């Protein structure tokens, strides 16, 4: 989707926290991204490499933790991760009525600085 | 190397401005819809039909979001309703801060109902609430009944799903039952409308629902003493 704007925001948050800690340089940034959030890792990496030169985050490594979609079937209680794609038909009872347990996450978990 | 725990939602800046927008809407007493769909599903047609159905009973205003051009705003302006065009200049969705700036050009206090037409896109608008009271997703028969499978997030959070171009049903293989089952699976509280902006079919039920939801919203704002 709109990874440029998102990557700018990631950089802002990271620089703000590094500045507050009095760090000179950010070496690592840890992101958590749910598979339902429509954010593409490669695209974030691309824009990150483009945005960071000349900032304290230049050369920092981006770490992506992807969280797969997890659903709970409202009919039979089965908890499942879809095998292919993101479709939410219950593998146990073939029902379509589910609750999303995991997969919408999109946050900056931590940074490492020096 | 010291590690700093951050745990910050990356889209929280948008969410905060969306909450500010919502407070402004509630102070002004205006009920706000965010209309989202793929390009060509009929957002502008639904805006025009809604104006025709509810003006002057309700005082309407419109915000048009598009990557470029004023064509939608010009069509809406012909109805005499106040309208602002936001051009995102390549952006794939409206954001809360862009809406906040556009609101300066709309007489909110003089409106009962504000329709925001988002950029035609089934993916990105899902992640950027604007402060609206209701999210409405428009799907149309030529797009196919598999769209909720391919773009679940938007359908999962919609308050209403409007199925447009229903007059084309005899010519399309759109399975309405399968479509509804997929959406309801993720979103059991959703309300469906089947309409044709071309023939006017189904629009009376849509207009009634808007009247009712607006009245309910006003009542709840009154009960909690404004904002």
User: pLDDT band at A5, cuts 50/70/90?
Assistant: confident
* Residues in chain A within 8 Å Cβ distance of B181: 96
Q: Do A108 and B7 touch (CB under 8 A)?
A: yes
* Averaged pLDDT, A93-109: 93
Residue A108 β-bridge partners = A31, B8
The token duo for B66 is 């598009």
What is residue B222's predicted lDDT score, i.e. its pLDDT?
83
Asked if the C-beta of B188 comes within 8 angstroms of chain A's C-beta atoms, the answer is yes
Q: Do A13 and B8 touch (CB under 8 A)?
A: yes
Q: Do B185 and A98 touch (CB under 8 A)?
A: yes
What is residue A1's predicted lDDT score, i.e. its pLDDT?
57
Residue pLDDT tens, chain B, 227 long = 789 999 999 999 899 999 999 999 999 999 999 999 999 999 999 999 999 999 999 999 999 999 899 999 999 999 999 999 999 888 889 999 999 999 999 999 999 999 999 999 999 999 999 999 999 999 999 999 999 998 999 999 999 999 999 999 999 999 999 999 999 999 999 999 999 999 999 999 999 999 999 999 999 888 876 44
Chain mean position to CA B174:
23
CA of B184: which chain A residue's CA is closest? A97
All residues at 6 or more sequence positions from A31 whose CB lies less than 8 Å from its CB, including other chains: A10, A44, A62, A63, A64, A65, A107, A108, A109
* Residues in chain A within 8 Å Cβ distance of B95: 5
What is residue B225's predicted lDDT score, i.e. its pLDDT?
62
The nearest CA of chain B is from the CA of A88 a distance in Å of 8
Asked if the C-beta of A27 comes within 8 angstroms of chain B's C-beta atoms, the answer is yes
What is residue A12's predicted lDDT score, i.e. its pLDDT?
96
Residue of B153, B214, B182, B74 whose CA lies nearest to B163: B182
Q: How far apart are CA B7 and CA B222, in angstroms?
A: 36
Domains identified in chain A and CATH numbers:
3-69+103-113 (3.30.2320.50)
What is residue B128's predicted lDDT score, i.e. its pLDDT?
93
Best of B121, B185, B187 to mutate (most A CBs within 10 Å, chain A)? B185
The token duo for B101 is 């700036």
Q: What is the DSSP letter of B109?
A: G
The token duo for B153 is 């997030």
User: pLDDT band at A3, cuts 50/70/90?
Assistant: confident
User: pLDDT band at A86, cuts 50/70/90?
Assistant: low
What is residue B40's predicted lDDT score, i.e. its pLDDT?
97
The nearest CA of chain B is from the CA of A57 a distance in Å of 14
CA of A25: which chain B residue's CA is closest? B1
What is residue B227's predicted lDDT score, i.e. its pLDDT?
47
CATH superfamily, with its number, for domain B14-213: P-loop containing nucleotide triphosphate hydrolases (3.40.50.300)
* Residues in chain A within 8 Å Cβ distance of B91: 2, 5
Ranking A15-24, A76-85, B202-211 by mean pLDDT, the lowest is A76-85
Q: Is B172 exposed, middle or buried (CB count within 10 Å of its CB: 0-12, 13-18, 19+)? A: middle
User: What does pTM read for this prediction?
Assistant: 0.90
């Amino acid at each position: 989707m709109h990874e440029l704007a998102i990557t700018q925001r990631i950089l802002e948050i990271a620089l703000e926290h590094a500045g507050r800690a009095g760090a000179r340089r950010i070496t690592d940034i840890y992101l958590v991204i749910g598979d339902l959030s429509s954010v593409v890792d490669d695209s974030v990496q691309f824009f990150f490499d483009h945005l960071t030169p000349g900032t304290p985050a230049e050369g920092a490594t981006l770490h992506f933790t992807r969280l797969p979609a997890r659903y709970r079937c409202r009919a039979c209680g089965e908890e499942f991760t879809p095998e292919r794609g993101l479709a939410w038909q219950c593998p146990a009872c073939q029902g379509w009525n589910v609750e999303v347990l995991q997969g919408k996450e999109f946050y900056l978990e931590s940074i490492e600085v020096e | 190397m010291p590690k700093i725990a951050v745990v910050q939602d990356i889209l929280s800046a948008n969410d905060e401005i969306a909450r500010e927008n919502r407070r402004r809407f509630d102070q002004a007493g205006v009920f706000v819809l965010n209309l989202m769909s793929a390009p060509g599903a009929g957002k502008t047609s639904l805006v025009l039909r809604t104006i025709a159905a509810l003006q002057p009973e309700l005082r309407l205003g419109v915000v048009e979001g598009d990557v470029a051009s004023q064509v939608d705003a010009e069509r809406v302006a012909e109805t005499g309703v106040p309208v602002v065009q936001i051009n995102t200049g390549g952006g794939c969705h409206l954001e809360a801060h862009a809406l906040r700036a556009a609101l300066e050009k709309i007489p909110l206090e003089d409106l009962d109902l504000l329709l925001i037409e988002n950029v035609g896109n089934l993916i990105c608008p899902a992640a950027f609430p604007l402060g609206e009271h209701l999210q409405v997703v428009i799907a149309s028969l030529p797009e196919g009944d598999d769209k909720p499978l391919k773009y679940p997030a938007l359908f999962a959070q919609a308050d209403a799903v409007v199925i447009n171009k229903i007059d084309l049903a005899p010519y399309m293989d759109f399975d309405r039952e399968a479509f509804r089952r997929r959406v309801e699976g993720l979103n059991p509280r959703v309300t469906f409308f089947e309409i044709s902006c071309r023939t006017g079919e189904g629009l009376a039920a849509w207009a009634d629902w808007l009247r009712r939801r607006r009245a309910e919203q006003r009542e709840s704002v009154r009960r909690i003493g404004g904002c």
